[in-house]
Structure 1
């Protein structure tokens, strides 16, 4: 395989890896924001005496918790893809080094 093709493949895979890392950072940020919202709602519950506000905040906490669980389930999948992509990049770099040493 020509070294140009291998170099282009490595560049493409690095871009894909970068996107995956960005996606992971985005999901981690979402999780942190949801945790903050949950804490805020719990704090509101402890400060209020109104039953309707308490019920509303409990529903908010349930909704945020559901969203947080979904986000937390996505993160390991993204991490797995990052690991796979890193392995692919490493393999392509090895091929490139072998091709360059032949030339």
Structure 2
């Protein structure tokens, strides 16, 4: 049997499947419950954010992050061994 005919047969068989109705799964108290009260979306979401304040806050956060990264980069560029320790190491090697 070619692949296409098998696929068509499989789709046809899937169409014969009994799907349970969702109404049959509802309990009587849910079936007779009133619909929830609808409220305006503006009331549900609250006041809109202030874009200028959000931009200022984001700028402050990014500036602080930049400063932290710059300080970290300066520490990483510093010599690992200071001059006094380097002198002692060189004396031990030569000595």
TM-score bracket relative to the smaller structure: 0.3 to 0.5
Structure with greater helix percent: 1
Q: TM-score, normalised by structure 1?
A: 0.36
| Higher relative contact order, structure no. (Cα contacts within 8 Å, ≥ 6 residues apart) | 1
Q: Give the number of the structure whose alpha-carbon radius of gyration is greater.
A: 2
TM-score (norm 2): 0.39
